[in-house]
Amino acid sequence: MLILLAKTYITFPKALNVKTENGVIHGVGSVVVSQKSLVPKKVFFVSGVGRHEDALVSFELALRDAGIERFNLVPVSSIFPPQCEIVDVDEGLKELYPGQIVFCVMARETSKEDGKKIFASIGAAIPSDPALHGYLTEYHGEWNGEDVGKKAEENAAYMLETAFGIKPARTFNITKIAEVRKNTTVVAAAVFVL
């Protein structure tokens, strides 16, 4: 069976007994897919820091500190979806399951230069019209005392202003700054709930 869905052809073996209803694919052993199923309904924001002799382990520890280590994280680009509700971390985590593929906008920085400070920041710019999308920006690097959270917000606001010719109704950021000891990783993320 060959099905055209959102300009994508999906082929299923006849043994799956696949049916479509209102643009949604149903069937034994099939995955439910629709044009709007991958547009996040909710988002929450987290940050964390991890330190270890191994850089990869420091990243895992930063994800643990942020509370998102148990998911298969897929980084996506910078769009804040229309109609997306911002929820607190606890509410967002209740809707996710260990091993789940979870989309996020993530800023990440790792360094092993003791004494330096590093940062990871996500900036958000939200329009007043909920039918429009907003912007999320990833900003990361070596921290030199600047207000990196504000810079991340300004970058997101610039993207919104140049896309729609409007000022954001709201900007904010989540930022993690840490002094480097061993391998240190900082993360900041906007985590989506479908």
Q: Using only the alpha carbons of the chain, give its radius of gyration.
A: 19
63: nearest Cα among 48, 75, 52, 76: 48
176: nearest Cα among 161, 168, 186: 186
Is the distance from CB of 7 to CB of 33 less than 8 angstroms?
no
Q: Could you give all domains of the chain from N- to C-terminal order, each with its CATH number?
A: 1-37 (no CATH), 42-193 (3.50.20.10)
Query: Rounded distance, CA 86 to CA 45, Å?
Result: 8
Per-residue pLDDT of the chain (194 residues; tens, 9 = 90+): 444 444 444 444 444 444 555 555 444 455 555 667 789 999 999 999 999 999 999 999 999 999 999 999 999 999 999 999 999 999 999 999 999 999 999 999 999 999 999 999 999 999 999 999 999 999 999 999 999 999 999 999 999 999 999 999 999 999 999 999 999 999 999 999 99
Helix (H) or strand (E) holding 21: strand 19-21
CA angle, 133 as apex, 48 and 158 as ends, to 5°?
75
The torsion of the CA quartet 152, 158, 164, 165, rounded to 10 degrees, works out to 140
The pTM (predicted TM-score) of the whole model is 0.82
